[in-house]
Structure 1
Amino acid sequence: MRANSRFKNIIKSDRPVVVDFYADWCQPCKEIQPVLIELKNEFKQDIRVLKVNVDFNPYIANQFQVKSIPTVMIFKSGDLQWSKEGLVLLPELTDILKKYISAS
């Protein structure tokens, strides 16, 4: 299965999917990693976290118009619900995710 097809299948989930567009060489991208781990620990089975390396998946990054990294997006049922470029802090992501989880 092509990466793009796999990506589309994952974001079609009924539970929110947090997508982190990153690159290995990006320092702010490394700083968001603990935030994503904490989110996954807090929300367990209510969300899915997916990391997309823009160097290896430029087609997906271009398709969603990722202009800078890190970029975090939240999808639900295949639809983009929220997006932010730059470092995102845990309290902000937690508040946003609670809205989409309670809407399930």
Structure 2
Amino acid sequence: MSSFNDIIQSEKPVLVDFFAEWCGPCKMMAPILKDVKASMGDSVTIIKVDVDKNPQAARQYGIQGVPTLMVFQQGQIKWRQSGVVPARQIEQVLGKVKGEK
């Protein structure tokens, strides 16, 4: 399996959902991310990172609250937002990042 750092080096945008099992708003993000994946397909990679199981990743990116969504491309942070984010907004952000090249 690829490491987190390998995944975020990708040419295509990588949406990372930093979440926790006990977090109510995080549970609300799951169907939203499913919708985003359905509409964006393979043009984007979506991964979930459990902050309780990966505290070093949470520390490295200064995750204060969950859910926190981040978009990476070629290892660079292109976008970051905490809280529940509507699918439409996520799709717009990913569309912009894909167009940046």
TM-score if structure 1 supplies the norm length?
Answer: 0.93
* 2:76 aligned residue (46, 56, 79): 79
Ranges in structure 1 where 5+ consecutive residues have no aligned partner? none
For structure 2, the residue ranges without an aligned partner over 5 or more in a row are none
Deviations 1:35-88 (A, max 9, x none): 111111111110000100000000000000000000000000000000001111
Q: Give the percent of matched residue pairs that are identical in Structure 1 and Structure 2.
A: 38
Alignment deviations for residues 1-53 of structure 1 (CA, whole Å, 9 cap, x no partner)? 8xxx8100000000000000001110000001111111111111100001000
DSSP-derived class of the 2:47 partner = strand
Structure 1 position 24 matched with structure 2 position 21: yes
**RMSD between aligned alpha carbons?**
1.3
Matches within 5 A, 1:1-104: 6-104=3-101
TM norm structure 2: 0.95
